[in-house]
Structure 1
Amino acid sequence: MVSIQLITPAPWDEYELIDSGDFQKLERFGDFILSRPEPQAIWNKSLSDNDWERRAHAIFRRDRQSPERGDWQTTPDMRDPWYVRFRQGGLNLKFKLALTTFKHVGLFPEQADNWLYIHDKIKALSVDVPRPKVLNLFAYTGGASLAARQAGADVTHVDAVKPVISWARENMDHSELDNIRWVVEDAVKFVRREVRRGNRYNGIILDPPAYGRGPDGEKWVLEEHLNDLLKSCADLLDRSDFFFIINLYSLGFSSLILDNLIQQIFGNVPNSEWGELAVTDQAQKKLPLGVFYRFSS
């Protein structure tokens, strides 16, 4: 039976969405408040522009020559990098945050519920599988990898960008973890090779971008490649003891698209959940930040 859900992370001491609107979001990460663009916040802000300017330690300004890049305007007391902790549900993780030219800071707080899901599923699997194997594709700075490793899994972390892998390794060290397998490679190539080798994983996590490039210039376009990638993942997923998570952030991709793909490729999966990821601001506006699908044995 499919359960459609809206998932919002539980209150988290070191993160909050203060306000959203006018295509922006105002967030607190630890001691610092950031103002960043947010294309889905089409409503009006609840706080005044002056309030945003007064409270923000860092404001992202887009480069007029680029739709993606930009610069940060910061106050003198803004640290870069800085660190936050996530302590919930048996997890105690520490993340390095930094102000990047792409507006990101190295952390997606809306994923917190998925981290807890990963931790709980691995703990349940380990009753029958002493060392569950988990594959994290398009793994970025490693929030899901850290959650899986802290729960006791053998984790393979795949990302095409070498500096991002280095960032994830720092997060592993700061979280006092070890022995994550790091792979700098195009996700599609890696998965196809694992299928040929006959490998299987108890958990597979995907966070594919809308567009991307592999380390050798391989082109990734979500609409063109996701179907085939999911077919390969179906071949890699253990038949008896498993969980699977996919998140999409591309505008125009609904959870219904994921439901169609999963049902066609994986069949009638057990314990399935799908819907939207969102974060609620202080005025109770819910900011959508992606869609997800997850299921488990």
Structure 2
Amino acid sequence: MIQLLTPSNFKDYELIDCGDFEKLERFGNVILIRPEPQAVWAKGLKESEWTKQHHIRFKGRSATSGEWIKKDLKTPDRWHIKYQNGDITLQFRLAMTSFKHLGIFPEQAVNWDYIIKSIKSFKTPQPKVLNLFAYTGGASLAARAAGAETTHVDSIKQVVSWANENQTLSGLDNIRWTVEDALKFVKREVKRGKKYNGIILDPPAYGHGPNGEKWKLEDNIQEMMQDVVALLDENEHFLILNTYSLGFSSVIVDNLIRSSFPGVKNLESGELYLQATSGCKLPLGVFGKFFKGA
């Protein structure tokens, strides 16, 4: 079943408008303008409204880096926002990086909701969850807050430290932090006979492990998926595969999961997007996910 999903309960985030290869967003009380290669249409609001509303604008020096320009020097370089799902509240520290990122991808709140719902429905007393390519830990925090024993794997030490800071801000503890190449980690876990009730993958199009290992999505994702499904607990499990690559459609993800796990049940696939207040929809990746309860 192909779906279109957008976050519905992330009050600290708002996509105000997007177009002309930019997006106007609110994170907490701070409004930013950032580049957005998917926004090929015209802006819904006038340029004067964008100029009036924003506090900070990202100016690119190249396709991969740039600098932030503040309208008011009193605007903070770092600040916190909250995500809430029922009795679970997560906090994130945001910061302006030279790569235009802030430390969070708000469209992933859809997946955090799914993680929390899945874990809370398990009969296993303390389910085990593995988060691969885990970045600053939104999915790891959601899993831990829902009661799972959580392992967080990313190849970049600095972002794992950032995720650990988010853990503290959220009043959580005991997430297992691992700085390692994700594919190497998974292969080792398979050899050890490890099992997980939940696995989350959000792989980049390109990447490098801590020892120079190369990752290319279309070359490595099939091998990764075949190893990952071997780690799933047979009785209770969920899996989420999320990709942000202009060459990947939800049909590709659907086929990839079905070929790697022929017995899959309850498979959902589709596209994540952010609904702008101005009316347009901004696509931000495709997903495939499935769940099995006891």
Q: 1-side partners of 2:153 and 2:15: how far apart?
A: 29
Deviation string 1:221-280 (CA, Å, 9 cap, x unpaired) is 101100000000011111111000010001110011111111111113111111000011
Residue of structure 1 in register with 2:138 after alignment: 143
Does 2:116 match 1:119?
A: yes
Residue of structure 2 in register with 1:79 after alignment: 76
Deviation string 1:164-207 (CA, Å, 9 cap, x unpaired) is 00000000000000000000000000000000111010000000
Residue of structure 2 in register with 1:44 after alignment: 42
Match of 1:140, SS state, is: coil
RMSD: 0.9
Residue of structure 1 in register with 2:172 after alignment: 177
Q: 2-side partners of 1:259 and 1:141: how far apart?
A: 26
Q: 1-side partners of 2:87 and 2:263: how far apart?
A: 31
Contact 1:91–1:116 (Cα < 8 Å) also in 2: no
Residue number among 252, 270, 277 corresponding to 1:275 in the alignment: 270
Deviation string 1:36-89 (CA, Å, 9 cap, x unpaired) is 0111111100112222122111111111xx311111101212111100011123
Residue of structure 1 in register with 2:28 after alignment: 30
Identical counterparts, % of pairs: 56
Q: 2-side partners of 1:116 and 1:151: how far apart?
A: 10
The alpha carbon displacement at 1:11 in A equals 4.2
Match of 1:198, SS state, is: coil
Q: 2-side partners of 1:149 and 1:257: how far apart?
A: 30
Residue number among 99, 104, 107 corresponding to 1:102 in the alignment: 99
Does 2:128 match 1:133?
A: yes
User: Structure 1: which amino acid aligns with 2:239?
Assistant: F
Deviation string 1:19-44 (CA, Å, 9 cap, x unpaired) is 00001100000010010011111110
Q: 2-side partners of 1:32 and 1:294: how far apart?
A: 33
TM-score under structure 1 normalisation?
0.96
Match of 2:43, SS state, is: coil
The alpha carbon displacement at 1:18 in A equals 0.3
Match of 2:240, SS state, is: strand
Q: 2-side partners of 1:109 and 1:95: how far apart?
A: 11
User: Structure 1: which amino acid aligns with 2:55?
Assistant: H
Q: 2-side partners of 1:20 and 1:11: how far apart?
A: 20
User: Structure 1: which amino acid aligns with 2:29?
Assistant: D
User: Structure 2: which amino acid aligns with 1:100?
Assistant: T
Residue number among 50, 55, 58 corresponding to 1:57 in the alignment: 55
Contact 2:9–2:84 (Cα < 8 Å) also in 1: no
The alpha carbon displacement at 1:91 in A equals 2.1
Match of 1:231, SS state, is: helix
Contact 1:70–1:101 (Cα < 8 Å) also in 2: yes
Contact 2:82–2:89 (Cα < 8 Å) also in 1: yes
User: Structure 2: which amino acid aligns with 1:224?
Assistant: D
Runs of 4+ with >6 A deviation: none
Does 2:13 match 1:15?
A: yes
Match of 2:25, SS state, is: strand
User: Structure 2: which amino acid aligns with 1:67?
Assistant: A
Contact 2:130–2:151 (Cα < 8 Å) also in 1: yes
Q: 1-side partners of 2:23 and 2:9: how far apart?
A: 17
After alignment, is 260-269 or 172-181 more displaced? 260-269
After alignment, is 11-20 or 114-123 more displaced? 11-20
Match of 1:47, SS state, is: coil
Q: 2-side partners of 1:20 and 1:102: how far apart?
A: 19
Residue number among 199, 202, 205 corresponding to 2:197 in the alignment: 202
Flag structure 2 segments of 5+ consecutive residues without an equivalent: none
Residue of structure 2 in register with 1:67 after alignment: 63
TM-score under structure 2 normalisation?
0.97
